[in-house]
Structure formats: C-alpha cells, structure tokens
Amino acid sequence: MTEWYYEQDGTHVGPVSETDLNLMLANRLIDAGTRVWTASFGQQWKPANETQLQIPQPTPPPPLPPVSRPPQLAGTAEKRRAGPSASAIPEPSKAYAYLLAFLPLLGAVLVTAMAVAGGSGDLPTMINVVRFATLIVSLLLVFLDAKELRRVNIVSPTKVMVPFLLLIPAGYLLHRSFVMRLSWTPLWIWLGSFVVLLGVTRALMGS
C-alpha cells in the first residue's frame, strides 16, 4: 500500500493511504492545491491536482429555464410605460363658471326690463333687489363650481374655501384662474359683464 503525506498548517501529516487522501479531497477536507508527497516523488512535494489523485470536478448546474411573464403583469408594465391616459383625469364642467361670469350681464338685462316695464318711479329699489338676487345666485354658483372642482380632485376642500373670504365672485374667479391654473376666460367675461351692469344702472339712475 502506497503511503501518502499531505501538508497542513505548514507541517506534514501522514502517512495515509491513497484512498483516504482521495476521500479527503472529495469531502473538501483538503483542496486541490494542497501539497502532497509519496515515496515516488523523491524530494519534491507536489500539489494534489498534479498527481494521480482523484480531484473532484465541480458539477455545473443546468441552465436556467426562460422566465415566462404572466399576461396580466405584461399588460400592467405596458400601461405604466404608456403613462396615464387622458381619460384617467376627468374634465371639470365649466357650466357653473360661465353662468357666474355672465350673471352681471343678466342682471343688467333684468334691471333694464324692469325699468322699461315699471318706469323709473321705484328704480333704486329694483336695482337693489337685482343686486341682492345676483349676490345670492353668485354664492350658489361659486359653491356648485367649487364642488365640481373637488369632484375631479383639482383642489382640496381647504383651498376651495379661501375664495369665500374674498370678494365674491371676482375673488373666486381670480383664485380659480391664478391659483388653480384654470381658464381665465370666465374672469374676463365677468369683468366685462360687471362693467355693463354698472353702465346700465348709472344710465337708468341718471335718466
């Protein structure tokens, strides 16, 4: 039986049989670079992988199978790449804002019609009634428009309440256009309508 020695921590260990040495290599108690010696080597120590010892060869794992993507995940990824569609963000109704904008013009028409129908005897009272009615309707339209903006999540309820502390409806329309970054058209229409209302009431009071 051939006797073998192997190196461990700078010293030689043995003798062991070739079978035992192969078992130690198989169980990774020593590695393939460990120097070993047997009588046939003379004065030379050799790494185990340069001898007739049985060096265990690592078995590579099989190739990974392709990953199949679930259909629903693929659709979700495509939607994320496409980004939010335009239909995902609802468009607020502009009806209340434009009714609010034309309200002073409607008041001017009502004042003129009442003056023509009833004469100028009680004209100041009629003008005050129209102003009061216009204010009440303005408050209602501001409330309805703010509710519509909350419905489509354009602003929070806290931000919507701020214009109620300002001049209504001019303050609300200014807040709506400047802060909420919506159309400026209702504000310009309201200013024009208000100028017409002032002109009509002054003309009627002066006549």
For residues 66-90, average pLDDT: 55
Once rounded to an integer, what is the mean pLDDT over residues 133-139? 84
With a cut of 60, say whether residue 140 has pLDDT above it: yes
pLDDT at 163: 46
The position carrying tokens 């679930």 is 70
56 close to 27: Cβ distance less than 8 angstroms: no
pTM (whole model) above 0.75: no
Residue 73 has pLDDT above 60, yes or no: no
Residues 155 and 148: their CA atoms lie apart, in Å, by 10
Q: From CA 207, how far away is CA 199, in angstroms rounded?
A: 12
Question: How confident is the model over 9-52, as pLDDT tens digits?
Answer: 888 887 888 888 888 878 888 888 888 888 888 888 888 888 87
Please state which of the ranges 4-13, 103-112, 121-130, 188-197 shows the lowest mean pLDDT: 121-130
DSSP secondary structure, 59-103, as one string? -PPPPPPPPPPPHHHHHHHHHHHH---GGGSPPPP-HHHHHHHHH
Q: Which of 21-25, 73-77, 185-189 has the lowest mean pLDDT?
A: 73-77
Q: What is the mean pLDDT of residues 51-70?
A: 74
Q: How far apart are CA 67 and CA 70, in angstroms?
A: 9
